[in-house]
Every structure is written in C-alpha cells, then in structure tokens.
Structure 1
Amino acid sequence: MIRYAGIFLAFAFSHAAEKPVQVVVMDPLSLPLSCSCVDGVGQRRYDKLGDHLSKVLGRSINLTFEESLDLALRRIRATPDFIIGKDAMVSFDSKRLKLKVKPIAALTDRTGAVTHRGVFIVRTKDPARRLSDLSGRKVMLGPVEEAETHQAAKTALRKAQLAKSASLEVGGAIDSSALALTDGEVASAVVPEYLPPLLVGCEKLSENSVRILAKTPPVYGVRLFCTDVADNALVKRVLEEVTGLDKRKDLLIALESAKGFLKIPDQLGWLDWRGPGRRGQALTLPKQLPKALKKVWSTKLTGPAVAGPVANEKWVIIPDKNRGGKKDLFRCLDITDGSELWRLEYEADREMDYSNSPRATPVVHEGLVYLLGALGDLHCLRIETGEVVWRTNYYQEYGGKLLPWGASSPPLIVAEKLIINPGVPDSSLVALDRKTGRLIWETSGHAAAYSAFVIDKLGGRQQIVGYDSASLGGWDPVTGKRLWQHVPTEGSDFNVTTPLIYDGQLLLATENNGTRLHRFENNGTIVDKPVMANPSLAPDTCSPVIVGDRAFATAYGEMYCLDLKNNLKTVWMQEDDMFYDHSNVIGGNGRVLVWTQSGDLLLLDAGANEFSPLSRLRPFGDVKVDSMSHPAIVGNRIYLRGPNEIACLQFSGD
C-alpha cells in the first residue's frame, strides 16, 4: 500500500497521429500506487478512464503513476497536460517545481464527497477519550504535504484547547505515524481516514489494535489539474468527458466514485461578493424549497448583519463586530458544526451610518483571504491558519477621506494583482501584488464609490469596470490606465450596485438613471447612449441578476422582471413592503432566490410571466431580522446572516 511504484501506461490507437495526452496520476488510491489487500478499496482503475478518454478524444493517453510530481517528470521528461492527485500534494509539488497548475474538477468518493479528513488514532486500550486528552503527549503528524494529516491536524489540536500542548513529530510517509504508534513511540498518530482498513488488510496493523479518537477538519480531496501546456480546447473537451461520468456506471465502479468528477467552479464554493464572477449565480438552486429549511447548525454573532459570508466545503468566513462595536472581527468557522477555527480582531472604532461593521464580502483566492473593514483596514491572511501575511489601511497609506458609509468595495483579484479603490486624487484605483501587498500601479481619478468592480473582456479588450463617485469607468488591468469614462445623464448616483456583463454588453442599474444596457466599440470603449433602457427599475442598493434573458432586482418596495430580448420591457412588477429595504437576489437553474432585509426568503420561477413565488419562508421566524448580508450558497447549503447568528441551512434534496 505504502511503497509506491512508478508505472507508465500508454493507450495507443491507430488514430493517434497527434501528440499523446500526458496524464500524471498521484492518487494514492489508484491501483498501481495502492495495494489489493482490501477488496474494492484503493483499486481505482485510471487505466479504464484513460481508455475511455482515448476513444472519445481520438488521441492516445499516456498515464504515468508516481507518488510525487518530480518523479513523474523525470520519467516522462516533459510537462504533463493533466495531473490527478490529492489537492494538497499536487499543489505542494507543483509550487516547489514552479509548475503552473489549475484545478478543474474534483473526484467524488463513494459517498459523493469531494473532501477527505485525517483521523487521530490511538491504541485500543489507551485511556484517551477525546482530543483534549492528548495534552502533553506525543502525537505524530503526517508529512507536511499531506494537508489532512498535517495542517488540518494542527487546526484540530488548536481547536481542542489542550491544557498542555502536545509534543508534535512529523512522519516521513503516510503510514510512518501508524507504525510509530504500534511500536509505542507516540501516543497518537494522524493518518488519512481511508488508511486504517488498508493497513489492517496489508497486515501492518493488527485488527482491533487501534481506534479512532477524533477526525480533522475536511480538506480538498483528489482533483484533476490542467497545466499551462494543455490548450484550452483540450481542457474543455476533457472536462466535458470527466464531468459526464455519472452516466457511466462501469467507470464509476472503476474509480470507486459515486458521481465521478464534478466541475471545480461548482464545488469551490462562494468565495467572493455575489459568488463566482460577482454575477450572483448559484447553479445549485433547488427547483422548490421545502416547507422549512433544515438547520444544520448556527453560531452566535455579535455585530450588525451587514457584510456577507464566503464559504466552501471546509469553512465559512463571516465579518462581524465585537459586542462593544469598537473592534472589527472576522471569524472562520468549521462547516461541519460552526465551531471557530480562527479569528482576526483589531481596533476599528468610529461612528458612521448603518453601524461601523465591515461592509465588504471577504475575497478568497488560492489559499489567501482578503478582509476589508469599513474604516479601510485591509488584511491578507492564510486561510488554513488565520496567519496575517500583510496588511494596510487605505486612509493611512494613501490619505483621503473616509466615505460616509465606509469602505465598501471588496478587493478584486486580477491574476496576481489585487485591485483596491482608496479613492484619493493620485491613487483613485490601485493594484497591489496580492501575495505581498507591494504597490504595482496607481491611477489618479475621483473619490471612491461603494460598488464592486468586475473584470471581463468588453469590445475585444480585457478591462476592469466599475464606479467611482462621479462616473463609470474602464481601466487597463496591466497598466492601470483609464480607458473610458461614462457620466450618467440624469444626475449622480450613490453607485452601490454591481455592473453585470450580458452578451458582451454592460447592464447598469442605479437609483437616478434606472436600468440600461450599453454596448462597446471595437476599441473597448463604452457607447454612452444605451442600447435599451427601463427607467422604472431604479435600485439604490440591490444589484440585479440575469437568468436566461431576464433581469431581476428590487427597488423601493417593488420587484421587477425585465426582458433583455425585448428592449428591457417590464415582464412583471410586484409591490410589497418587504422589497422596500435592501434585498439580495441570486439566480441560477431557472430560478431566482430573493433574501430580503426583513428576513423573507423567496424562490421564483425565472420563466414565469407573473410574480408567483414557488416558495416563501422566514428562516429566522417572526423575529426582526434586519440583515443586509448577502447569502452564500455551496452545494445543497445556504449560509444566512440573521440578527445575531449565522445559520447553515440545507435545501431539499431536489
């Protein structure tokens, strides 16, 4: 099981005139890297997947099985097109080898999960009954590249609050700690959850000689990565095939998987303002809501419900405020039970409208999270540990005046840059190195607005698009040069809502200028006169969503559905007091989900020609909610910020 052998398999067909597709497999449960001691466990047949891909792609597939990426590269003497392996191990090796990789799909296990855990094991007769009982005792972790047995294990020990820190040792291989445990060298060993039965099957552990004391928090499991040598067409084709395996029972059995591979964007979670691409889209919206959402857990919070959470399959990060309102507080919670993994807390004491609680949704990217407070405090932290990597303050660093409603625009990730908007004359828009906080460029301009920026290709040109206090603009992401400026015709707006990209055009919706759609010239500049407009839908804070060819938003006691294929004509409008204050609107799967500030949760059919909710719930009951916080949706769960808690709620199985 443990000593991996390097194996190279090639599927060569007569049609394989093109260069073979190189795939490195590092999955420890693949048959060549595991053992056959336990029937049906650790025998994943990637050769069958290679056979399938070769036939549908019309190209030969070369599979190289190795326990590490550097060993695989030595064998094939080239950069592979794809890598399949544990997320942490592939990330660790590729970073060390300076190889650019990108996760594109996650392999489900037999339960359908895309994460896995480590387990703390002890000898069966050991007196320890909980993790805290390991106080002052020796614990052997897995290798540093094994996230579930190393970093996640440290997190679990920290959460257990041992009276005396455990003495930690690090094993050289994934079974080293288990062998050290049986030899009496340590009190507990941390191993992958799948490992104990295999060690018993391989007779490295005696049956019933050890037991599981505790589990670590979940980490990402086996994933499919593409490298920068794989062309986009090949990546797209392979992704289509591997995410369609749920219809191939034979391949699911071969891969010991419930659903095959799942596309990463569907699984990564809700990691930014309004989710992926800031578009307000959740592909897993249910067709119908149950009569009541199942509460998985809830955790008490202390500050006003302003900024929303981000979440994935492991954690939830929620901005908050301490009880006295003098400190910003960001909490990272375990998605299994809502317990706190780490927190960031710092002084932030100044009065302003709508409280001084953080407004900006956290932004997560490649292991780092960016946290912005209302007073301009920006921190970059490591997600796994909560360690501060770098920090700055907009107003101390760049000068300028604090906005009446505080710093609200979440930072924008653009490749290796972090785009922020201090809004001072010489530094209206600024690009920082996202890993170090180092200044890359700064652009002069107007004071900041409250809206979020977006990045997309418009008029054939990649550009940052967003508002300042006086106008809408586009900026070159490489140099920071302002490309164009659009000043509204009907007076200035608060500029709170987020612009939306629709079919290469820009949809805007603001309180004084209504909703309008703008096209772009071939040089990437906006055409000031809108293609179409509807002055009736004029939201001050509610950013619209698009489902199909319809736009949805609320404003001043009304909810609208507009037809983007028919000159933004109003399909329907509904008056209701619950739409008077702020609402957050999410689209996807032919549905529209509305979370109102008053605490109503509605599900609508996006294709209906009248306002007729499929479901209407009050998840927090009849209490006053007053939540401006945007929900986060990950899979079958929705995370809602209530008046004094964050709740993890579960949709129906539909």
Structure 2
Amino acid sequence: MRSLARGWLAMACTLAVLFTVCACAPLEAEDRTPAGLTLVVMDPLASPLSCPCVKGYAQRDYDKLAAYLEKQLGRPVTVAYSDSLTTALQKKTEGKADIIIGKRSVVEFDARNSKLDVVPVADLTGKDGLTTMTGLIVVPKDDPAKTAADLKGYRIIFGSPECDEKYAAPITLLKSKGVTLPEKLETSASCADGATAILEARSGKGAAVISSYAKPLLEGCGTINKGDLRVVGETEPVPFITAFVSSRLSKADSQAITDALLAVKSDLTLRTVLETKNGFVPAAKAVGTSSKKN
C-alpha cells in the first residue's frame, strides 16, 4: 500500500510540474515579444498634414517608413500624425513618443513644453538634397520694397516663435538691415494666413514671413495666385526635418533606430515615397544654402 501511495504521489507531482510548465510557456513567449515603438510624425510635408494640390510634393508617406522600420527593427511601430507633439502625447499616443520626425525647432520647442527629453539623430534630405529651409519675407507684387532693408516702418507678420525660419531667423536678418521692430511682434501660425493678410490689407505697407517649403503650396492650392507675392528677403538656412529619439530608449535601441533611418538612402522605393534625394543623413551633417536675396 505504501508503495502504491508513493506511486500516486510521484505521478501527482509530475502532473503538477507539467501543468506549471505548460501554463508558463505562453507567458514566457509573450515576454519575448519586443515592445512596440511609437512614431510621431510632425513633418508639414507628410500626406495627412498637407494637401495634394501640387503633384509629387508634400505627400510623404510615413506609413511606409513605419513598415520599413518594423522589418528592420523586428518590432511593431505605430504612427501618429500631428502638428503638435503636445497634442499627440495627450490625445493620440497615451504619452508615448519613441521616435519623432518633424521640423527641428518645433519638435524641440514642444518637447521642452512636454518635459520630454529627445535627441536628434538624423536629418531628412529634400528632393534637392538639402536638409534645411529658409524663411522668405514677401510683399505684394506691386509694393515698392526691393530688399529687406526697405521694410522700415512696415507692418511685418512673423510666424510662431517655435518656427525658427519664420521668427528667430527673419528677426536676425531684419535687424542686420537696420529695420527696427516693435516690442511685440505680430505673428500668424499659418503661412497662408500671413500671406493673405497683407494681400487683403486696405491700407499701409505690409510684409509677411513664410517658410520656403510653403510657397509652392500657397500657389498650388489657390490660396494666392502665382505672382501675387514677391520675395524681398531670405533668411540664413535653418534645419528642416529632423528625426529624434526619446532619451528613455536604451542606447542599443537608439542606435538600431538611427542605423535603420540612415539605411533609407539605399531604398529607392522608400526614398520616392518620402520625397527625399538621399534619405536621412546624420544630424550633425545638415547642409543648406540661401540665395541671399537681401
């Protein structure tokens, strides 16, 4: 009897061990599944954030980039589009932003406001191969001003403070030309609003600052007619689209993401849908030019 009892006990113990192993196996498999990454896209030339008015322009497909990153990194990548990082964190991503791609000065501004530490790792080249943009100071076509120095006493509409090409850069340019600016600057978040404001003004002389990338869209979308505005000043180049990673990521994860982005240059199909000549380049090597129409 004791022998029989010991046999039953041994069998019970064996079954208990097998049950435990089987029950734990799915959990262990689940633990091995790589955590997903959240990509926040703030690029104004991304398809969901722009318009299809100009064929082959401002229709960047970041969903394709996300699929590429999933393959390269071996983990899920979710994309959220927003003009504002703060809005994306609060309403779209539940506070997550592992990778952020957008205008460098805007991302940095929003990240500071959201208390999110981010690191720039790569700049996206445009169709021209440049990684920069400029601010364009424009006036109505019949305005007498020829250069930025002629804007003394003008009403000047700047962009939002977080947009370097429409705020900090033109301020520097105008001051260098002897133009005295009011203590409180007039600003407009939208290039379209600033441009139409000076065109519709019934009195006084006015100028507006628009982003260089926005000029084709203003004309292509019919916001203004081609030739309605004339450029009288162009700022120094500032960084345009930059990819950032969250400092919360491990060094290995950050490097893997950076390597994957830099490898985009070898993928012609991806370069085409991202409207980029050379893909991403290291952030420290941003390049640009200005025609210096000042």
TM-score normalised by the chain length of structure 1: 0.38
**Residue number among 201, 207, 210 corresponding to 2:229 in the alignment:** 210
CA distance in 2, matches of 1:261, 1:337: 24
Residues 174, 97 of structure 1: alpha-carbon distance in 2 compared, 3 angstrom cutoff: farther
Matching residue of 2:266: 247
- The answer to whether the 8 A contact 2:234-2:290 is kept is no
**Residue number among 109, 119, 126 corresponding to 1:109 in the alignment:** 126
Matching residue of 1:36: 52
- Report the secondary structure of 1:179's partner residue: helix
- Report the secondary structure of 2:97's partner residue: coil
- The answer to whether the 8 A contact 2:134-2:290 is kept is no
1:22 equivalent in alignment to 2:38 = yes
The letter for the 2-side match of 1:138 is: R
CA distance in 1, matches of 2:96, 2:247: 9
Matching residue of 1:200: 219
1:181 equivalent in alignment to 2:198 = yes
CA distance in 2, matches of 1:337, 1:176: 25
Compare the two structures and name the one with the higher helix fraction: 2
- The answer to whether the 8 A contact 1:138-1:166 is kept is no
The letter for the 2-side match of 1:102 is: V
1:158 equivalent in alignment to 2:175 = yes
1:100 equivalent in alignment to 2:110 = no
CA distance in 2, matches of 1:172, 1:236: 35
CA distance in 2, matches of 1:175, 1:52: 34
Kindly provide the CA deviation profile for residues 169-200 of structure 1, in whole angstroms up to 9, marking residues without a partner as x.
Answer: 11133432112122127611101001122012
Deviation at 1:91, TM superposition (A): 0.6
CA distance in 1, matches of 2:149, 2:116: 40
Deviation at 1:137, TM superposition (A): 0.8
Deviation at 1:166, TM superposition (A): 4.6
The letter for the 2-side match of 1:53 is: L
Q: How many residues align?
A: 256
- Report the secondary structure of 2:164's partner residue: coil
Matching residue of 1:235: 254
- Report the secondary structure of 1:76's partner residue: coil
- Report the secondary structure of 1:230's partner residue: coil
CA distance in 2, matches of 1:181, 1:237: 47
1:127 equivalent in alignment to 2:125 = no
Q: Which runs of 5+ in 1 are unaligned?
A: 1-15, 269-312, 315-334, 339-654
CA distance in 1, matches of 2:196, 2:152: 21
Matching residue of 1:45: 61
CA distance in 2, matches of 1:155, 1:115: 17
- Report the secondary structure of 2:87's partner residue: helix
Deviation at 1:48, TM superposition (A): 1.0
1:69 equivalent in alignment to 2:76 = no
- The answer to whether the 8 A contact 2:234-2:291 is kept is no
- The answer to whether the 8 A contact 1:37-1:202 is kept is yes
- The answer to whether the 8 A contact 1:70-1:93 is kept is yes
Deviation at 1:336, TM superposition (A): 6.1
The letter for the 2-side match of 1:240 is: D
- The answer to whether the 8 A contact 1:69-1:93 is kept is yes
CA distance in 2, matches of 1:206, 1:166: 29
**Residue number among 226, 247, 250 corresponding to 2:245 in the alignment:** 226
The answer to which structure, 1 or 2, has the higher relative contact order (CA under 8 A, 6+ apart) is 2
1:143 equivalent in alignment to 2:143 = no
Compare the two structures and name the one with the higher strand fraction: 1
What does 1:53-64 correspond to in 2, within 5 Å?
53-64=69-80
Kindly provide the CA deviation profile for residues 16-74 of structure 1, in whole angstroms up to 9, marking residues without a partner as x.
Answer: 93221101001111011000000111111111111111122221110100000111001
- The answer to whether the 8 A contact 1:82-1:230 is kept is no
Deviates more, 1:62-71 or 1:176-185: 176-185
CA distance in 1, matches of 2:245, 2:258: 10
CA distance in 2, matches of 1:174, 1:205: 11
CA distance in 1, matches of 2:171, 2:131: 21
- Report the secondary structure of 1:148's partner residue: helix
CA distance in 2, matches of 1:161, 1:34: 36
Deviation at 1:79, TM superposition (A): 2.4
Matching residue of 1:81: 98
- The answer to whether the 8 A contact 2:46-2:62 is kept is yes
